[in-house]
Structure 1
Amino acid sequence: MDLGGTNVRAGAFYEDGSEAGPSYSNPSKAQEGTPAILASIAATIQQAVATAAVKPTEVGLAIPGHVDDERGMIVWAPNFGENVNGVFKYWENVEVRDPLAKMTGLNIRMGNDANLAALGEYKFGTGRNSAKCLVMLTIGTGIGGGVVMAPISVQGDARGPLVLLGGNKGGAELGHTVVNYQGPECNSGEFGSLESYCQRDAIVRRAQHRIRRGRKTILNDMVGEDLSKLTPKHISQAAEQGDEVSLEVWEEVGTMLGVGIGNFIAIFAPDIVAIGGQIAKAGDLLLKPAIRTARNVAVPSLFSDAKIVVAEQIEDAGMLGGAALALEPRT
Protein backbone atom coordinates (compact mmCIF):
# COMPACT_ATOMS: atom_id res chain seq x y z
CA MET A 1 0.00 0.00 0.00
CA ASP A 2 1.25 3.46 -0.92
CA LEU A 3 -0.21 6.42 1.01
CA GLY A 4 -0.03 9.83 -0.61
CA GLY A 5 -1.29 13.28 0.20
CA THR A 6 -4.02 12.96 -2.45
CA ASN A 7 -4.65 9.24 -2.94
CA VAL A 8 -3.99 5.90 -1.30
CA ARG A 9 -3.17 2.96 -3.58
CA ALA A 10 -3.12 -0.74 -2.78
CA GLY A 11 -2.46 -3.90 -4.76
CA ALA A 12 -1.58 -7.55 -4.25
CA PHE A 13 1.73 -8.89 -5.53
CA TYR A 14 3.54 -12.20 -5.84
CA GLU A 15 7.08 -12.67 -4.58
CA ASP A 16 8.55 -11.85 -8.00
CA GLY A 17 6.78 -8.49 -8.08
CA SER A 18 4.12 -9.53 -10.57
CA GLU A 19 0.53 -8.52 -9.89
CA ALA A 20 -1.70 -10.96 -8.02
CA GLY A 21 -4.75 -8.82 -8.69
CA PRO A 22 -5.83 -5.32 -9.70
CA SER A 23 -4.69 -2.22 -7.86
CA TYR A 24 -7.11 0.26 -6.33
CA SER A 25 -6.92 3.97 -5.59
CA ASN A 26 -9.09 6.13 -3.33
CA PRO A 27 -8.82 9.63 -1.86
CA SER A 28 -6.51 9.50 1.15
CA LYS A 29 -8.47 12.20 3.03
CA ALA A 30 -5.10 13.39 4.28
CA GLN A 31 -6.40 16.46 6.10
CA GLU A 32 -9.72 15.13 7.36
CA GLY A 33 -8.41 13.61 10.58
CA THR A 34 -6.93 10.27 11.64
CA PRO A 35 -10.19 8.22 11.70
CA ALA A 36 -11.03 9.25 8.10
CA ILE A 37 -7.48 8.58 6.88
CA LEU A 38 -7.31 5.13 8.48
CA ALA A 39 -10.76 4.25 7.17
CA SER A 40 -9.68 5.12 3.63
CA ILE A 41 -6.49 3.08 3.96
CA ALA A 42 -8.36 0.07 5.35
CA ALA A 43 -11.05 0.22 2.66
CA THR A 44 -8.45 0.35 -0.11
CA ILE A 45 -6.53 -2.58 1.35
CA GLN A 46 -9.73 -4.58 1.62
CA GLN A 47 -10.54 -3.89 -2.04
CA ALA A 48 -7.17 -5.26 -3.10
CA VAL A 49 -7.48 -8.29 -0.82
CA ALA A 50 -10.98 -9.12 -2.06
CA THR A 51 -9.84 -9.45 -5.70
CA ALA A 52 -6.38 -11.00 -5.14
CA ALA A 53 -5.75 -14.40 -6.69
CA VAL A 54 -4.43 -15.61 -3.33
CA LYS A 55 -5.48 -13.93 -0.12
CA PRO A 56 -2.60 -11.90 1.34
CA THR A 57 -1.75 -12.33 5.00
CA GLU A 58 0.74 -9.47 5.36
CA VAL A 59 0.53 -5.84 4.33
CA GLY A 60 3.42 -3.43 3.77
CA LEU A 61 2.53 0.26 4.13
CA ALA A 62 4.58 3.00 2.44
CA ILE A 63 3.90 6.24 4.34
CA PRO A 64 5.44 9.71 3.86
CA GLY A 65 7.13 10.88 7.02
CA HIS A 66 9.12 9.54 9.98
CA VAL A 67 7.89 5.99 10.51
CA ASP A 68 8.66 3.78 13.53
CA ASP A 69 7.54 0.29 12.56
CA GLU A 70 8.67 -1.26 15.85
CA ARG A 71 6.19 0.87 17.79
CA GLY A 72 3.61 0.98 15.01
CA MET A 73 3.72 4.77 15.12
CA ILE A 74 4.02 7.65 12.70
CA VAL A 75 6.42 9.94 14.55
CA TRP A 76 5.95 12.85 12.15
CA ALA A 77 4.06 13.29 8.90
CA PRO A 78 3.41 16.93 7.93
CA ASN A 79 0.86 16.21 5.18
CA PHE A 80 -1.59 14.22 7.33
CA GLY A 81 -3.83 15.37 10.17
CA GLU A 82 -6.70 17.79 10.62
CA ASN A 83 -7.57 21.44 11.08
CA VAL A 84 -8.18 22.39 14.70
CA ASN A 85 -9.56 25.87 15.33
CA GLY A 86 -8.28 26.99 11.95
CA VAL A 87 -4.77 25.59 12.46
CA PHE A 88 -3.58 22.42 10.72
CA LYS A 89 -2.38 19.87 13.27
CA TYR A 90 -0.19 17.35 11.50
CA TRP A 91 0.52 13.79 12.58
CA GLU A 92 2.87 13.45 15.53
CA ASN A 93 3.21 10.11 17.35
CA VAL A 94 0.04 8.71 15.80
CA GLU A 95 -0.70 5.01 16.26
CA VAL A 96 -1.37 3.43 12.88
CA ARG A 97 -0.36 -0.24 12.79
CA ASP A 98 -2.59 -1.73 15.46
CA PRO A 99 -5.78 0.14 14.44
CA LEU A 100 -5.28 -0.92 10.80
CA ALA A 101 -4.57 -4.51 11.81
CA LYS A 102 -7.88 -4.60 13.69
CA MET A 103 -9.76 -2.99 10.80
CA THR A 104 -8.36 -5.33 8.13
CA GLY A 105 -7.62 -8.54 10.06
CA LEU A 106 -4.12 -8.59 8.53
CA ASN A 107 -0.57 -8.23 9.81
CA ILE A 108 0.73 -4.72 9.13
CA ARG A 109 4.30 -3.53 8.53
CA MET A 110 5.24 0.08 7.80
CA GLY A 111 8.07 2.08 6.28
CA ASN A 112 8.86 5.52 4.93
CA ASP A 113 7.51 5.83 1.39
CA ALA A 114 10.80 6.91 -0.21
CA ASN A 115 12.76 4.18 1.58
CA LEU A 116 10.27 1.59 0.40
CA ALA A 117 10.22 3.02 -3.12
CA ALA A 118 13.98 2.48 -3.15
CA LEU A 119 13.50 -1.08 -1.92
CA GLY A 120 10.88 -1.70 -4.60
CA GLU A 121 13.19 -0.32 -7.29
CA TYR A 122 16.06 -2.40 -5.90
CA LYS A 123 14.16 -5.68 -5.94
CA PHE A 124 11.86 -5.22 -8.92
CA GLY A 125 13.44 -2.45 -11.03
CA THR A 126 16.86 -1.21 -12.02
CA GLY A 127 18.50 -2.86 -8.98
CA ARG A 128 17.59 -6.34 -10.27
CA ASN A 129 17.79 -7.49 -6.63
CA SER A 130 21.56 -7.67 -7.10
CA ALA A 131 22.95 -4.11 -7.11
CA LYS A 132 25.77 -3.43 -4.68
CA CYS A 133 24.18 -0.14 -3.66
CA LEU A 134 21.16 1.68 -5.05
CA VAL A 135 20.40 5.31 -4.26
CA MET A 136 16.94 6.48 -5.29
CA LEU A 137 15.47 9.97 -5.45
CA THR A 138 11.72 10.37 -5.90
CA ILE A 139 11.00 13.82 -7.33
CA GLY A 140 7.49 15.22 -7.22
CA THR A 141 5.72 17.56 -4.81
CA GLY A 142 8.82 17.11 -2.65
CA ILE A 143 11.94 14.97 -2.95
CA GLY A 144 12.27 11.70 -1.08
CA GLY A 145 15.37 9.55 -0.87
CA GLY A 146 16.28 5.97 -0.14
CA VAL A 147 19.47 3.93 0.03
CA VAL A 148 19.57 0.15 -0.33
CA MET A 149 22.78 -1.84 0.05
CA ALA A 150 23.80 -5.41 -0.54
CA PRO A 151 25.76 -7.14 2.27
CA ILE A 152 28.94 -6.74 0.21
CA SER A 153 28.67 -2.96 0.64
CA VAL A 154 28.92 -2.99 4.43
CA GLN A 155 31.64 -4.26 6.72
CA GLY A 156 30.51 -6.82 9.25
CA ASP A 157 27.99 -9.64 9.41
CA ALA A 158 24.92 -8.69 7.38
CA ARG A 159 22.22 -10.11 5.17
CA GLY A 160 20.36 -8.07 2.65
CA PRO A 161 19.09 -6.11 0.98
CA LEU A 162 19.72 -3.51 3.68
CA VAL A 163 17.63 -0.33 3.73
CA LEU A 164 19.39 2.59 5.41
CA LEU A 165 17.12 4.02 8.14
CA GLY A 166 19.49 5.79 10.53
CA GLY A 167 19.62 5.70 14.29
CA ASN A 168 16.09 6.94 14.94
CA LYS A 169 14.64 5.33 11.78
CA GLY A 170 14.09 8.74 10.12
CA GLY A 171 17.25 9.05 8.03
CA ALA A 172 18.08 9.06 4.31
CA GLU A 173 16.22 12.34 3.79
CA LEU A 174 18.30 13.01 0.69
CA GLY A 175 15.97 15.70 -0.63
CA HIS A 176 16.87 17.89 2.34
CA THR A 177 20.59 17.79 1.59
CA VAL A 178 21.72 21.40 1.31
CA VAL A 179 23.39 22.20 -2.00
CA ASN A 180 23.55 25.98 -1.48
CA TYR A 181 23.24 27.31 2.06
CA GLN A 182 22.16 30.73 0.78
CA GLY A 183 19.56 29.31 -1.60
CA PRO A 184 15.75 29.46 -1.48
CA GLU A 185 13.78 28.28 1.53
CA CYS A 186 12.33 24.78 1.50
CA ASN A 187 8.87 23.92 2.86
CA SER A 188 10.51 22.11 5.76
CA GLY A 189 12.43 25.24 6.79
CA GLU A 190 16.01 24.81 5.61
CA PHE A 191 17.58 26.99 2.93
CA GLY A 192 19.09 25.79 -0.33
CA SER A 193 18.16 22.13 -0.14
CA LEU A 194 17.93 19.89 -3.17
CA GLU A 195 14.16 19.88 -2.73
CA SER A 196 13.98 23.68 -2.77
CA TYR A 197 15.56 23.68 -6.25
CA CYS A 198 14.18 20.55 -7.91
CA GLN A 199 10.68 19.79 -6.63
CA ARG A 200 7.60 20.39 -8.78
CA ASP A 201 6.71 23.93 -7.72
CA ALA A 202 10.32 25.11 -7.90
CA ILE A 203 10.50 23.95 -11.51
CA VAL A 204 7.27 25.76 -12.38
CA ARG A 205 8.42 28.95 -10.63
CA ARG A 206 11.56 29.08 -12.78
CA ALA A 207 9.47 29.07 -15.93
CA GLN A 208 6.93 31.56 -14.55
CA HIS A 209 9.74 33.94 -13.61
CA ARG A 210 11.04 34.02 -17.17
CA ILE A 211 7.59 34.51 -18.64
CA ARG A 212 6.89 37.47 -16.35
CA ARG A 213 10.15 39.02 -17.53
CA GLY A 214 8.82 39.02 -21.08
CA ARG A 215 10.65 35.99 -22.49
CA LYS A 216 9.20 34.57 -25.67
CA THR A 217 7.92 31.03 -25.11
CA ILE A 218 5.20 28.67 -26.29
CA LEU A 219 4.31 27.94 -22.66
CA ASN A 220 1.88 30.87 -22.65
CA ASP A 221 -0.14 29.36 -25.47
CA MET A 222 -0.07 25.91 -23.86
CA VAL A 223 -1.81 27.18 -20.73
CA GLY A 224 -4.00 29.83 -22.33
CA GLU A 225 -2.02 32.66 -20.69
CA ASP A 226 -2.99 31.29 -17.23
CA LEU A 227 0.36 30.65 -15.54
CA SER A 228 -1.36 29.02 -12.55
CA LYS A 229 -2.05 26.03 -14.82
CA LEU A 230 1.59 25.53 -15.76
CA THR A 231 3.08 22.12 -14.88
CA PRO A 232 6.44 20.39 -15.38
CA LYS A 233 4.75 18.30 -18.07
CA HIS A 234 4.07 21.45 -20.09
CA ILE A 235 7.70 22.49 -19.64
CA SER A 236 8.88 19.08 -20.87
CA GLN A 237 6.59 19.17 -23.89
CA ALA A 238 7.75 22.68 -24.78
CA ALA A 239 11.41 21.75 -24.35
CA GLU A 240 10.97 18.83 -26.73
CA GLN A 241 9.79 21.38 -29.29
CA GLY A 242 12.94 23.44 -28.77
CA ASP A 243 11.42 26.13 -26.54
CA GLU A 244 14.36 28.14 -25.21
CA VAL A 245 12.82 29.02 -21.86
CA SER A 246 11.86 25.41 -21.13
CA LEU A 247 15.28 24.10 -22.12
CA GLU A 248 16.90 26.61 -19.77
CA VAL A 249 14.66 25.54 -16.90
CA TRP A 250 15.54 21.85 -17.26
CA GLU A 251 19.23 22.72 -17.64
CA GLU A 252 19.21 24.63 -14.36
CA VAL A 253 17.12 22.07 -12.46
CA GLY A 254 19.23 19.19 -13.78
CA THR A 255 22.41 21.00 -12.79
CA MET A 256 21.30 21.36 -9.16
CA LEU A 257 20.11 17.76 -9.14
CA GLY A 258 23.56 16.75 -10.36
CA VAL A 259 25.20 18.54 -7.43
CA GLY A 260 23.12 16.40 -5.07
CA ILE A 261 23.79 13.21 -7.01
CA GLY A 262 27.52 13.90 -7.04
CA ASN A 263 27.46 14.24 -3.25
CA PHE A 264 25.48 11.02 -2.85
CA ILE A 265 27.97 9.19 -5.07
CA ALA A 266 30.79 10.43 -2.84
CA ILE A 267 28.97 9.28 0.31
CA PHE A 268 27.42 5.96 -0.73
CA ALA A 269 29.46 4.85 -3.79
CA PRO A 270 26.35 3.41 -5.50
CA ASP A 271 26.42 1.40 -8.68
CA ILE A 272 22.83 2.54 -9.41
CA VAL A 273 21.34 6.01 -8.93
CA ALA A 274 17.66 5.79 -9.88
CA ILE A 275 15.57 8.92 -10.40
CA GLY A 276 11.87 8.28 -9.80
CA GLY A 277 8.69 10.23 -9.17
CA GLN A 278 6.63 12.03 -11.79
CA ILE A 279 9.35 14.60 -12.55
CA ALA A 280 11.61 11.76 -13.74
CA LYS A 281 9.36 11.49 -16.79
CA ALA A 282 11.28 14.50 -18.16
CA GLY A 283 13.94 11.92 -19.02
CA ASP A 284 17.10 13.20 -20.70
CA LEU A 285 16.00 16.82 -20.33
CA LEU A 286 16.67 16.35 -16.61
CA LEU A 287 19.24 13.58 -16.64
CA LYS A 288 21.77 14.93 -19.14
CA PRO A 289 22.66 18.08 -17.16
CA ALA A 290 22.43 16.07 -13.92
CA ILE A 291 24.92 13.48 -15.15
CA ARG A 292 27.26 16.14 -16.53
CA THR A 293 27.26 18.02 -13.21
CA ALA A 294 27.56 14.88 -11.08
CA ARG A 295 30.66 13.95 -13.08
CA ASN A 296 32.24 17.25 -12.06
CA VAL A 297 31.25 16.89 -8.39
CA ALA A 298 31.79 13.23 -7.52
CA VAL A 299 35.09 11.47 -6.87
CA PRO A 300 36.07 10.24 -10.38
CA SER A 301 36.71 6.63 -9.40
CA LEU A 302 33.33 6.46 -7.69
CA PHE A 303 31.48 8.22 -10.52
CA SER A 304 32.87 5.75 -13.05
CA ASP A 305 31.07 2.88 -11.26
CA ALA A 306 27.74 4.72 -10.92
CA LYS A 307 24.94 4.35 -13.44
CA ILE A 308 22.48 7.26 -13.28
CA VAL A 309 19.12 6.29 -14.79
CA VAL A 310 15.39 6.92 -14.73
CA ALA A 311 13.74 4.43 -12.38
CA GLU A 312 11.79 1.59 -13.98
CA GLN A 313 9.08 1.59 -11.31
CA ILE A 314 7.93 5.21 -11.40
CA GLU A 315 4.25 4.44 -10.86
CA ASP A 316 4.33 1.41 -8.56
CA ALA A 317 7.63 1.67 -6.64
CA GLY A 318 5.88 2.51 -3.36
CA MET A 319 3.44 -0.41 -3.55
CA LEU A 320 6.18 -2.80 -4.65
CA GLY A 321 8.38 -1.60 -1.79
CA GLY A 322 5.51 -2.24 0.60
CA ALA A 323 5.20 -5.74 -0.86
CA ALA A 324 8.94 -6.30 -0.48
CA LEU A 325 8.74 -5.21 3.16
CA ALA A 326 5.81 -7.54 3.78
CA LEU A 327 7.78 -10.43 2.26
CA GLU A 328 10.84 -9.90 4.48
CA PRO A 329 11.18 -12.39 7.36
CA ARG A 330 10.42 -10.90 10.74
CA THR A 331 13.39 -10.64 13.09
Structure 2
Amino acid sequence: MNYIKISLALAMGALMAGSCADVNDIPAALRISGQVVPDDSCVVKTSGGAQQEFKSRGTLDLAVGSTYMGYLMVENAFPQFESITGAQPEQGLVDPSTIYTNHLDITIRMNEGLLAASAEFVTKYGELFGVAPTLPLAYQVPGATSIPATSGGAVLAPLIPNNIGLLFRELSQVQDGDSIEVILEIKVVGQRQDGLKVQSGVFSFPITLCNRCLVQDRYEVGVALDPFAEENKLTEQDIGTFCEPGQDDHVTNAICGVLFPNQVPGFCPVDRCLGLAGATLPCTEDPQVFEVP
Protein backbone atom coordinates (compact mmCIF):
# COMPACT_ATOMS: atom_id res chain seq x y z
CA MET A 1 0.00 0.00 0.00
CA ASN A 2 2.84 2.40 0.80
CA TYR A 3 4.43 1.59 -2.55
CA ILE A 4 1.18 2.45 -4.31
CA LYS A 5 0.87 5.74 -2.46
CA ILE A 6 4.47 6.67 -3.24
CA SER A 7 4.06 5.74 -6.90
CA LEU A 8 0.87 7.73 -7.15
CA ALA A 9 2.50 10.71 -5.51
CA LEU A 10 5.40 10.57 -7.97
CA ALA A 11 2.98 10.31 -10.88
CA MET A 12 0.96 13.22 -9.59
CA GLY A 13 4.10 15.25 -9.15
CA ALA A 14 5.07 14.60 -12.74
CA LEU A 15 1.64 15.65 -13.94
CA MET A 16 1.69 18.86 -11.95
CA ALA A 17 5.13 19.58 -13.32
CA GLY A 18 3.62 19.65 -16.79
CA SER A 19 4.48 16.18 -18.09
CA CYS A 20 2.17 14.50 -20.57
CA ALA A 21 1.85 11.18 -18.77
CA ASP A 22 -0.63 8.80 -20.36
CA VAL A 23 -3.27 7.14 -18.23
CA ASN A 24 -1.48 3.82 -18.70
CA ASP A 25 1.70 5.26 -17.16
CA ILE A 26 -0.05 5.86 -13.85
CA PRO A 27 -0.51 3.06 -11.30
CA ALA A 28 -4.08 1.79 -11.18
CA ALA A 29 -5.83 4.33 -9.00
CA LEU A 30 -9.40 3.66 -10.13
CA ARG A 31 -10.31 0.22 -8.85
CA ILE A 32 -13.50 -1.86 -8.99
CA SER A 33 -13.88 -3.53 -5.59
CA GLY A 34 -16.85 -5.67 -6.58
CA GLN A 35 -20.55 -6.01 -7.30
CA VAL A 36 -22.48 -4.88 -4.22
CA VAL A 37 -25.81 -6.31 -3.07
CA PRO A 38 -28.25 -3.38 -2.71
CA ASP A 39 -30.37 -3.16 0.43
CA ASP A 40 -34.12 -3.81 0.61
CA SER A 41 -34.75 -0.29 -0.68
CA CYS A 42 -32.46 -0.96 -3.66
CA VAL A 43 -29.95 1.55 -2.29
CA VAL A 44 -26.20 0.96 -2.32
CA LYS A 45 -24.36 2.09 0.77
CA THR A 46 -20.91 3.47 0.01
CA SER A 47 -19.71 3.76 3.60
CA GLY A 48 -18.25 0.26 3.55
CA GLY A 49 -17.75 -2.02 6.51
CA ALA A 50 -20.43 -4.46 7.60
CA GLN A 51 -23.04 -2.59 5.57
CA GLN A 52 -21.66 -4.03 2.36
CA GLU A 53 -22.18 -7.48 0.90
CA PHE A 54 -20.46 -8.40 -2.34
CA LYS A 55 -21.58 -10.91 -4.95
CA SER A 56 -19.05 -13.16 -6.61
CA ARG A 57 -21.39 -14.05 -9.49
CA GLY A 58 -24.84 -13.18 -10.80
CA THR A 59 -27.92 -14.80 -12.32
CA LEU A 60 -30.29 -13.41 -14.96
CA ASP A 61 -33.55 -15.30 -15.40
CA LEU A 62 -34.53 -14.43 -18.96
CA ALA A 63 -38.11 -15.62 -18.45
CA VAL A 64 -38.62 -12.72 -16.04
CA GLY A 65 -36.20 -9.96 -17.03
CA SER A 66 -33.74 -8.92 -19.72
CA THR A 67 -31.50 -6.47 -17.85
CA TYR A 68 -28.75 -7.14 -15.31
CA MET A 69 -27.91 -4.05 -13.28
CA GLY A 70 -24.45 -3.39 -11.96
CA TYR A 71 -24.03 -1.96 -8.47
CA LEU A 72 -20.27 -1.57 -8.61
CA MET A 73 -18.23 -0.31 -5.69
CA VAL A 74 -15.36 1.72 -7.16
CA GLU A 75 -12.40 3.21 -5.29
CA ASN A 76 -10.39 6.33 -6.07
CA ALA A 77 -6.90 5.65 -4.69
CA PHE A 78 -5.39 8.94 -5.85
CA PRO A 79 -3.99 10.91 -2.88
CA GLN A 80 -5.48 14.27 -2.03
CA PHE A 81 -3.95 17.42 -3.49
CA GLU A 82 -2.88 18.57 -0.03
CA SER A 83 -0.98 15.36 0.77
CA ILE A 84 1.17 15.82 -2.35
CA THR A 85 1.70 19.56 -2.48
CA GLY A 86 1.22 20.55 1.15
CA ALA A 87 -1.31 23.13 -0.01
CA GLN A 88 -5.08 23.04 -0.07
CA PRO A 89 -7.10 23.70 -3.24
CA GLU A 90 -8.37 27.24 -3.54
CA GLN A 91 -11.55 27.86 -1.64
CA GLY A 92 -14.60 26.59 -3.50
CA LEU A 93 -12.60 24.43 -5.92
CA VAL A 94 -12.89 20.66 -6.13
CA ASP A 95 -9.81 18.61 -5.30
CA PRO A 96 -7.96 17.91 -8.60
CA SER A 97 -7.81 14.22 -7.68
CA THR A 98 -11.61 13.84 -7.69
CA ILE A 99 -12.68 11.33 -10.35
CA TYR A 100 -15.81 11.61 -12.47
CA THR A 101 -16.75 8.33 -14.12
CA ASN A 102 -18.33 8.48 -17.59
CA HIS A 103 -19.04 4.99 -18.85
CA LEU A 104 -18.24 1.30 -18.61
CA ASP A 105 -16.47 -0.70 -21.31
CA ILE A 106 -17.92 -4.22 -21.20
CA THR A 107 -16.74 -7.35 -22.99
CA ILE A 108 -18.82 -10.54 -22.83
CA ARG A 109 -17.01 -13.82 -23.30
CA MET A 110 -19.05 -16.91 -24.08
CA ASN A 111 -18.62 -20.31 -25.69
CA GLU A 112 -18.40 -19.92 -29.46
CA GLY A 113 -20.54 -23.02 -29.85
CA LEU A 114 -23.49 -21.08 -28.45
CA LEU A 115 -23.65 -18.88 -31.53
CA ALA A 116 -23.14 -21.79 -33.90
CA ALA A 117 -26.18 -23.51 -32.36
CA SER A 118 -28.35 -20.38 -32.30
CA ALA A 119 -29.11 -19.21 -35.82
CA GLU A 120 -31.92 -16.98 -34.54
CA PHE A 121 -29.50 -15.11 -32.30
CA VAL A 122 -27.17 -14.44 -35.23
CA THR A 123 -30.06 -13.37 -37.48
CA LYS A 124 -31.65 -11.10 -34.88
CA TYR A 125 -28.34 -9.47 -34.03
CA GLY A 126 -27.76 -8.67 -37.69
CA GLU A 127 -31.29 -7.28 -38.08
CA LEU A 128 -30.96 -5.01 -35.07
CA PHE A 129 -27.40 -3.76 -35.43
CA GLY A 130 -26.57 -4.22 -39.11
CA VAL A 131 -23.48 -6.33 -38.44
CA ALA A 132 -22.85 -9.99 -37.72
CA PRO A 133 -22.08 -10.87 -34.09
CA THR A 134 -18.48 -11.66 -33.28
CA LEU A 135 -17.07 -12.98 -30.04
CA PRO A 136 -16.36 -11.55 -27.65
CA LEU A 137 -19.28 -9.11 -27.67
CA ALA A 138 -18.17 -5.60 -26.71
CA TYR A 139 -20.14 -2.45 -25.93
CA GLN A 140 -20.29 0.65 -23.72
CA VAL A 141 -22.94 1.68 -21.21
CA PRO A 142 -23.21 5.01 -19.35
CA GLY A 143 -22.19 5.01 -15.71
CA ALA A 144 -21.67 8.39 -14.08
CA THR A 145 -20.68 9.25 -10.53
CA SER A 146 -18.09 11.35 -8.71
CA ILE A 147 -15.56 9.87 -6.30
CA PRO A 148 -13.41 12.07 -4.06
CA ALA A 149 -9.73 11.25 -3.56
CA THR A 150 -9.01 8.29 -1.24
CA SER A 151 -12.73 7.45 -1.19
CA GLY A 152 -15.18 5.00 -2.70
CA GLY A 153 -18.38 5.42 -4.64
CA ALA A 154 -21.07 3.36 -6.34
CA VAL A 155 -21.44 3.19 -10.12
CA LEU A 156 -24.89 1.99 -11.18
CA ALA A 157 -25.13 0.82 -14.78
CA PRO A 158 -26.75 -1.99 -16.80
CA LEU A 159 -24.04 -4.62 -17.19
CA ILE A 160 -26.37 -6.52 -19.51
CA PRO A 161 -28.59 -3.84 -21.07
CA ASN A 162 -32.08 -4.61 -22.29
CA ASN A 163 -31.15 -4.94 -25.96
CA ILE A 164 -28.48 -7.55 -25.21
CA GLY A 165 -30.77 -9.41 -22.80
CA LEU A 166 -33.46 -9.64 -25.48
CA LEU A 167 -30.90 -11.16 -27.83
CA PHE A 168 -29.87 -13.70 -25.20
CA ARG A 169 -33.46 -14.98 -25.26
CA GLU A 170 -32.66 -16.21 -28.78
CA LEU A 171 -29.97 -18.62 -27.51
CA SER A 172 -31.33 -22.10 -28.17
CA GLN A 173 -29.66 -23.64 -25.12
CA VAL A 174 -31.44 -21.25 -22.76
CA GLN A 175 -34.73 -21.76 -24.58
CA ASP A 176 -34.35 -25.51 -24.05
CA GLY A 177 -34.02 -25.02 -20.30
CA ASP A 178 -30.25 -25.19 -19.95
CA SER A 179 -28.31 -22.62 -17.95
CA ILE A 180 -25.24 -21.10 -19.55
CA GLU A 181 -22.51 -18.92 -18.11
CA VAL A 182 -21.07 -15.80 -19.67
CA ILE A 183 -18.10 -13.85 -18.33
CA LEU A 184 -18.30 -10.06 -18.24
CA GLU A 185 -15.02 -8.15 -18.29
CA ILE A 186 -15.71 -4.63 -17.04
CA LYS A 187 -13.69 -1.42 -17.05
CA VAL A 188 -14.83 1.88 -15.56
CA VAL A 189 -13.67 4.92 -17.55
CA GLY A 190 -13.67 8.56 -16.50
CA GLN A 191 -11.51 11.57 -15.84
CA ARG A 192 -10.16 13.51 -12.92
CA GLN A 193 -11.09 17.05 -12.02
CA ASP A 194 -7.83 18.22 -13.63
CA GLY A 195 -8.78 16.58 -16.95
CA LEU A 196 -6.61 13.46 -16.80
CA LYS A 197 -8.32 10.42 -18.29
CA VAL A 198 -8.40 7.40 -15.98
CA GLN A 199 -9.70 3.87 -16.29
CA SER A 200 -9.85 0.89 -14.00
CA GLY A 201 -8.31 -2.49 -14.55
CA VAL A 202 -10.51 -5.35 -15.75
CA PHE A 203 -13.06 -6.68 -13.28
CA SER A 204 -14.39 -10.12 -14.27
CA PHE A 205 -17.91 -11.06 -13.24
CA PRO A 206 -19.65 -14.32 -14.28
CA ILE A 207 -23.40 -14.29 -14.92
CA THR A 208 -25.58 -17.36 -15.38
CA LEU A 209 -28.35 -17.04 -17.98
CA CYS A 210 -31.34 -19.28 -17.37
CA ASN A 211 -35.02 -19.91 -18.13
CA ARG A 212 -37.23 -19.74 -14.98
CA CYS A 213 -34.47 -20.86 -12.61
CA LEU A 214 -35.44 -18.12 -10.13
CA VAL A 215 -39.23 -18.60 -10.30
CA GLN A 216 -41.01 -20.74 -7.70
CA ASP A 217 -44.40 -22.09 -8.82
CA ARG A 218 -46.24 -21.56 -5.54
CA TYR A 219 -49.65 -20.32 -6.71
CA GLU A 220 -52.30 -21.40 -9.18
CA VAL A 221 -52.31 -19.47 -12.44
CA GLY A 222 -55.39 -17.42 -11.52
CA VAL A 223 -53.81 -16.27 -8.27
CA ALA A 224 -50.42 -15.62 -9.85
CA LEU A 225 -51.95 -13.33 -12.47
CA ASP A 226 -54.06 -11.34 -10.00
CA PRO A 227 -52.05 -11.35 -6.76
CA PHE A 228 -53.67 -8.23 -5.27
CA ALA A 229 -57.28 -9.20 -5.86
CA GLU A 230 -59.59 -9.03 -2.85
CA GLU A 231 -59.79 -12.81 -2.64
CA ASN A 232 -56.00 -13.24 -2.89
CA LYS A 233 -54.40 -10.30 -1.08
CA LEU A 234 -50.81 -11.43 -1.56
CA THR A 235 -48.10 -9.37 0.10
CA GLU A 236 -44.62 -8.39 -1.01
CA GLN A 237 -43.25 -11.34 0.95
CA ASP A 238 -45.60 -13.66 -0.96
CA ILE A 239 -44.23 -12.38 -4.26
CA GLY A 240 -40.57 -11.98 -3.36
CA THR A 241 -38.36 -8.94 -3.01
CA PHE A 242 -36.24 -7.77 -5.93
CA CYS A 243 -34.63 -4.64 -7.34
CA GLU A 244 -34.47 -5.74 -10.97
CA PRO A 245 -36.90 -8.40 -12.25
CA GLY A 246 -35.09 -11.64 -12.98
CA GLN A 247 -31.85 -10.60 -11.32
CA ASP A 248 -30.35 -12.81 -8.59
CA ASP A 249 -33.39 -13.01 -6.28
CA HIS A 250 -35.86 -15.90 -6.15
CA VAL A 251 -39.48 -14.88 -6.62
CA THR A 252 -42.80 -16.72 -6.76
CA ASN A 253 -44.87 -17.01 -9.90
CA ALA A 254 -47.01 -14.13 -8.59
CA ILE A 255 -44.32 -11.89 -10.08
CA CYS A 256 -46.01 -12.55 -13.42
CA GLY A 257 -49.14 -10.69 -12.31
CA VAL A 258 -47.01 -7.81 -11.07
CA LEU A 259 -45.05 -7.49 -14.32
CA PHE A 260 -48.06 -8.05 -16.60
CA PRO A 261 -51.20 -6.78 -14.86
CA ASN A 262 -54.61 -7.42 -16.42
CA GLN A 263 -53.24 -10.07 -18.76
CA VAL A 264 -54.33 -13.68 -19.26
CA PRO A 265 -52.73 -16.88 -20.56
CA GLY A 266 -52.18 -16.65 -24.30
CA PHE A 267 -50.23 -13.40 -23.96
CA CYS A 268 -46.70 -14.54 -24.81
CA PRO A 269 -44.77 -12.72 -22.04
CA VAL A 270 -47.25 -14.08 -19.46
CA ASP A 271 -46.92 -17.63 -20.78
CA ARG A 272 -43.12 -17.27 -20.68
CA CYS A 273 -43.16 -16.00 -17.11
CA LEU A 274 -45.53 -18.76 -15.95
CA GLY A 275 -43.70 -21.47 -17.89
CA LEU A 276 -46.89 -22.65 -19.59
CA ALA A 277 -46.79 -25.40 -22.19
CA GLY A 278 -45.57 -24.12 -25.53
CA ALA A 279 -44.14 -20.93 -24.06
CA THR A 280 -41.09 -19.42 -25.77
CA LEU A 281 -38.49 -16.99 -24.46
CA PRO A 282 -38.63 -14.56 -27.42
CA CYS A 283 -42.00 -12.80 -27.81
CA THR A 284 -43.14 -10.43 -30.51
CA GLU A 285 -44.58 -8.27 -27.71
CA ASP A 286 -41.10 -7.62 -26.33
CA PRO A 287 -39.81 -4.10 -26.99
CA GLN A 288 -37.72 -3.78 -30.12
CA VAL A 289 -34.47 -1.96 -29.42
CA PHE A 290 -32.45 -0.74 -32.39
CA GLU A 291 -29.64 1.18 -30.74
CA VAL A 292 -26.17 -0.29 -31.08
CA PRO A 293 -25.07 -1.47 -27.60
Name the TM-score class by shorter chain. under 0.3
TM-score w.r.t. length of structure 1: 0.23
Higher RCO by CA contacts (8 Å cutoff, separation 6 or greater): 2
Structure with more of its chain in strand, by fraction: 2
**TM-score when scaled to structure 2?**
0.25
